[in-house]
Every structure is written in C-alpha cells, then in structure tokens.
Structure 1
Amino acid sequence: MTKSSNTNSPKRLSKVHSNSFDYSLDFKKINFRKRPDLYRIGRGEQGVLLVEPYKTEILPFWQFADVEKAEKSSTKIYQLFLDYLDNDDFVGADMARKFLQMGFTRARRYANHKGGKKYKGAVPENKKGLSGAHGREQLPRSEEDEIKAKAAEIFKEKWHQAKQHPEYLKQKELFKQKYLGSVDIS
C-alpha cells in the first residue's frame, strides 16, 4: 500500500468501524450480549431504547415522576451498571449509563416544559426516533417544576458517577481497542 502523499506516516483508516451509532441494524433480531462487536457507543443516549437484551432488563426500573421514584430508579439502574461491570459486560454498563443520562435529560425536560413537550408540531416521519428539533420551533419554558428538577439532579449525580467510574472507563477503552481500533492500511 502507499503512504499518504502529504506525510511520511502510513495512511490510516481512522476507525475500522465508526463509533457512531448504527441505526441501520435490525435491532429486533440482535442480542448485543452475544454480539457486542455490533454495538456502537454513539453520542449521549443514542440507541438506549433499541439495544437488547439491555433495554428489556433496564427499562422496567426507569422512572422519574417524583423524587422518591427517581431515587429508587437511579439506585437500581446504578446497581445494574455495577453488576454489568462486575461481569465485564461493557455494553450493559454503557446502556445503564445511558438510562441514567436519559433519566436526567427527561426529568429536566419535564421540569422546563409542562407535559414534557419541548417543540411545536409533530416529528417528521423520517425523523421518528431521533432527537432534536428537526426544524420545529421550541416551545417557551414553563415555570420550573421543582419536583422534576430534583428528580433530574438525582439522576445527574448517578449518571456522573457512572460515566467517571474507573472500571467503566477502563472497560470503555478496552471495548474501543477491541472493536473500534484503527488499522494501518499502508
């Protein structure tokens, strides 16, 4: 293979597989515990409601309606996070981290917008399941719901504990090296 024309270093593919979440997969047929090689970390909460068997394992515990539910929910999901780490199951741990993050973001949305609706109008059909405004106008914030704001803070604390946990960071790096490493093509 040839070297890059503007440098003396070998030409590299930045990633064998992109770290971007791959929404084209058939999520109904993939067991990501058996096929962690297909999992992509993505950004933020991407894939949180798609990746099985983790969605089914974690979702029943995800609640943020009030402080008591947020405390119980975030504690249980954080324990699942620790259990996944203990079992060297990075995908499970990352999914639990995403549920904690989603607990924070959804509770904040409900704290800021009565009823949780942030944008005017319906989501365009080709954008269903994706986050963002997609050209829609953002609704004005309502008076802050203090209960939802407290619930958000409970999830935020657990989410930050998870994303900064030394074992999580170690397993994340190992996962990236194993499944997302760069390849020398020279």
Structure 2
Amino acid sequence: MRPFDYQQDFAHTDFRRHPERYQVGRGEQGVLLVEPYKSEILPHWRFKNADIARASAEKIFVMFERYRCQDDFVGMDMARKFIQMGYTRARRYANHQGGKKYAADGTVLPYIVDRQKADAAAVFKHYWDRLRADDDYQQRKKRHQGLYG
C-alpha cells in the first residue's frame, strides 16, 4: 500500500467524480479531507453518550449501505472511517478528560474512566466490527486498491 498523500489537492477534488484519486490509507487517514463525503457524514457523527452514539452510528451505517447500493466504494470507506473514528475518539475521551492525551511536555496524562464515553465507544466498536467483517466491503477495498493503489 502506498503512503497516504496529504499533499493532494483535497480542496478542489470531488472524490465522487474521481474515485481513482482516493487512497484507502491506514485507519482514519483523510477522513476530514475527502469531499463530498466529509460534508455528508460529519453532521451525523456524535459520541457524547451511548444513545447519541447509537443514533449516529446507525445513521452512518445506513449511509454506508446507501453508498453500497450506489456502487460507491469511496463513500463506503469514508462511512467506515467515521465509524472507526467514533470508536477511537470516544475511547480517547473515555480515557482522558477533555480528550487530551498528552501534557505540554509530551508525557501521557493520567487515565480516567468516563463511563458515558466508554459506552459510546462500545456502540461504535460494534458497528466497526460489522463493517470490518463485511466480505463485500473487503472485496471492494481490494479491488479499489488493485486498480488505484
């Protein structure tokens, strides 16, 4: 897999029209850069507590399925990234007050246990696991990487 190209002109690229320019990347790379998907998905991304996370993850999962029906792998992968980011951000806020992991000197701040954020993370983890286990998604990902990676 080639390294994610952050130098790409994200501001002027419509990745729906140019899926060949999209790189899957590692984890959540590019999640807040790739349009029009960022603007479509971001308004629904929330993780304050488990109920809000559940509504958010379900909406994003429905979007994932809609992108699948439209044969839009880039949209599918972006929805997957937002689900994954819901998990990782909620975990960070569950572990560190205010979501700040490092002190000014670079040391890791003390761990806390925020039960609401931990429960929200568990919701997103459930949906993320479903997406990672989706054979059709995995095949489309391999095909995209084979064509454009």
Structure 2 spans left out of the alignment, 5+ residues: none
Structure 1 partner of 2:132: 163
Structure 1 partner of 2:108: 138
Measured after TM superposition, the shift of residue 19 of structure 1 is 3.2
- Aligned mates of 2:143, 2:50 — CA distance in 1: 36
- Aligned mates of 2:28, 2:52 — CA distance in 1: 21
Q: TM-score, normalised by structure 2?
A: 0.96
Q: Which residues in structure 2 correspond to 1:1-186 (within 5 Å)?
A: 18-121=1-104, 136-142=106-112, 144-180=113-149
Looking at both structures, which has the greater relative contact order when contacts are Cα pairs under 8 Å and sequence separation is at least 6? 1
- Aligned mates of 1:21, 1:33 — CA distance in 2: 18
Alpha carbons 1:88, 1:171 under 8 Å: kept = no
- Aligned mates of 2:24, 2:142 — CA distance in 1: 11
- Aligned mates of 1:93, 1:42 — CA distance in 2: 14
- Aligned mates of 1:70, 1:85 — CA distance in 2: 22
Structure 1 spans left out of the alignment, 5+ residues: 1-17, 122-134, 181-186
Measured after TM superposition, the shift of residue 159 of structure 1 is 0.8
Identity percentage over the alignment? 51
Q: How many residues align?
A: 149
Measured after TM superposition, the shift of residue 31 of structure 1 is 0.5
Structure 1: which 4+ aligned runs deviate by more than 2 Å?
A: none
Alpha carbons 1:62, 1:77 under 8 Å: kept = yes
- Aligned mates of 2:48, 2:58 — CA distance in 1: 15
RMSD: 1.2
Q: Which structure has more helix as a fraction of its residues?
A: 2
Q: Structure 2 vs 1, CA of residues 89 and 19 (structure 1 numbering), >3 Å: closer, same or farther? A: farther
Q: TM-score, normalised by structure 1?
A: 0.77
Alpha carbons 1:112, 1:141 under 8 Å: kept = yes
Q: Deviation per CA, 1:132-162: give whole Å up to 9, x if none.
A: xxx82211112x1111101000000101111
